[in-house]
Amino acid sequence: MKATTFVVFVLLLILSAVPVMAQDDANLLFTSRGIATTGINNRLGQPVLDLGEGAFSVPTVGMINPNGNIDLPLTPDTPDDAVLATTVLHDLPVAPDFTLVNIPLRDVPMMINPAGERAPLSSLDDVGQTDIAAVVSNGDILLRQWLRASGQLTIDCTRDAPLVSMTFVNLIPTSVYSVWGYFDVPDSQPMARALGGVPNAFVTDLRGSATFERNLNFCPLDLQADEIPLLWVEVIYHADGSLYGAVPHQAANGLPLGIVTQVQMDFPVSVNSLEDIVVFDCGGTLNDDAFIRAGGGVDQEIIGSASEGTVIAVLGINADGDWLNVRINDEEAWIAAFLVDIECDVEILPVRE
């Protein structure tokens, strides 16, 4: 064998062992930014997903009504310091316990013994060493805190087993959540199933951050003939700290969605969010000339500049609170926070990195 022939042979052998990414692999990767919600396909009483005319939109959290037994509905005009409360849904198979309606989310009774009895729990700091307690029970959950939730979903079908991974910030700290996929069932309402199988739960850390990762037995981005679309992914807060297996609540036992569990985020997959929905609305004006950077920090690349008086949309803030994620000239960028006069409460800004 000639030397040149041998070299070519070896190169071909090496190349045959190197995986080559297919041209359509980009179509097997998908990301979706989460929408903070107050119900199933519902944010402050309005739909968030384009599911067609007459699609269901169900609130699962309300506002404390100090003058009545039933909570007040959330609307776009609800003040951001409203105390969130349990709510009652209609058309339930069994009437709920109405003593559990219109109570703060942190006062929802939790299971305290094997007999299934429930009671509100005191905070761990307020009880003895072996007393039953909640990690945190003091302090109401306000609407502005609820709507700060943000996250990202990624679907990766380039693997042998399709993978869904999610990251979250600004959820309710030290709380139980579950993740559900809504599927498009012909001639029926969308069907909820535990995403990636049961258990489909995670617990947030002390700052309200968390991750969730599961393999799937189908690729939502490349469906087979007998498979149905995954419309969106839903994240549910468990106010009672309990999980219910393959269902998100126990309506038949008087513990329905809205009382023991509340929907906090939706992630569109094969549907779009409605164009007119305001996922987050906060404006700002530059109080001085400013550099526009690719990331939050003076070490990040300068990608432009803007002059004093420029009006921008504020999308979020970094964890340290000194850089703002903004939209300017139809592009996302970062600007030092001290250079922006913000029109909303900084506390409601989603944390972004």
Q: Tokens in use for 54?
A: 């007459």
Q: What's the per-residue H, E or C state across 246-268?
A: CCCCEHHHCECECCCEEEEEEEE
The Cα diameter of the chain in Å comes to 94
Exposed/middle/buried for residue 83 (C-beta within 10 Å: 0-12, 13-18, 19+): middle
- The pLDDT profile of the chain, 353 residues, written as one tens digit per residue, is 544 444 433 333 333 333 333 435 668 899 888 899 999 999 999 899 988 877 788 899 999 999 988 889 999 899 888 999 999 875 555 566 778 888 999 888 888 888 888 778 877 778 887 877 777 655 789 998 898 888 889 999 998 899 999 998 889 999 999 999 999 998 888 899 999 999 999 999 888 889 999 999 999 999 999 999 999 999 999 998 988 888 888 776 777 888 889 999 999 999 888 755 545 557 789 999 999 999 999 999 999 999 999 988 888 888 888 999 998 877 889 999 999 998 776 766 777 77
- Residue among 255, 263, 260, 262 at smallest CA distance from 95: 255
At 10 the pLDDT is: 37
pTM metric for this prediction? 0.74
Measured from the Cβ of residue 347, the count of other Cβ atoms closer than 10 Å reads 12
Asked if 326 and 337 count as a contact pair (C-beta separation under 8 A), the reply is no
Strands 210-215 and 201-203 turn out to be unpaired
At 19 the pLDDT is: 37
List the chain domain ranges: 19-278, 283-348
Rounded CA gap, 47 and 42, in Å? Answer: 5
At 280 the pLDDT is: 53
The domain 283-348 having CATH identifier 2.30.30.40: the answer here is: yes
At 281 the pLDDT is: 55
- Residue among 157, 164, 267 at smallest CA distance from 222: 157
At 132 the pLDDT is: 76
